[in-house]
Structure 1
């Protein structure tokens, strides 16, 4: 029983990570012409970890905690892709919209829940 639950959770995490990475890939392709999906997967994983850690320690602070978690996530995008903070914000915005569209379609089809790892707020 426990092993099955763990495997189920790992599959959900993996699929969610791949969907989140797809959003980052789309944003990076449009903004900085990067076409490395593996790089986007690693970026999504790092971003999810950083978002989670900052959220764990600072997320309880009203308004400031979530803002700091988001800025930390942007810093990951900014450090992983060329350009500056504006490009990182544009990549993040396109990633967020892309993931929303993919998750909406998958949720309508009954394939998955409406969430993904690697893109905050989705």
Structure 2
């Protein structure tokens, strides 16, 4: 007897997963900027996460150097949006990645495991 295919996600489910993933990415960036620099409001972090995710998606597909180019561009977006230097922007990235891993682990513990941290590389 063939195994039935899993149900596909509807547009509402996809939009919800996208929204939650973007909000998680925004939380992670907001935490990162609070630790490393003078943070702005949460909405600023969410928009930065969205811009970072778009740039990451475009550049990551470049052959050979895509990941490196995407990471540099992501740090450049944080640098531009928060008016920081390169090292502090990279520090925001490290703290944001750590915060995203913690938030995603907590969500997994409560049974929400189908989200990511949109706008935070590697999370």
> What is the CA deviation profile of residues 27-71 of structure 1, one whole-angstrom value per residue up to 9, with x for unaligned ones?
111111214100000000000000001113x1x31xx22111111
Distance in 1 between residues matched to 2:118 and 2:83, nearest whole Å: 23
1:12 is displaced (CA, Å) by 0.2
The aligned residue for residue 38 of structure 1 is 43
Distance in 2 between residues matched to 1:89 and 1:73, nearest whole Å: 9
Q: 1:77 to 1:51 in 2, by over 3 A?
A: same
Aligned pair count reads 117
Distance in 2 between residues matched to 1:103 and 1:53, nearest whole Å: 24
CA contact (8 A) 1:78 1:84 kept: yes
Larger radius of gyration between Structure 1 and Structure 2: 2
The aligned residue for residue 77 of structure 1 is 78
Question: Unaligned stretches of 5+ in structure 2?
Answer: 1-6
CA contact (8 A) 2:21 2:117 kept: yes
Q: Secondary structure at the match of 2:10?
A: helix
TM-score, normalization: structure 1?
0.89
1:114 is displaced (CA, Å) by 5.8
**Higher helix content, 1 or 2:** 1
CA contact (8 A) 2:24 2:116 kept: no
1:82 is displaced (CA, Å) by 2.3
How large is the RMSD of aligned CA atoms in angstroms?
1.7
TM-score, normalization: structure 2?
0.88
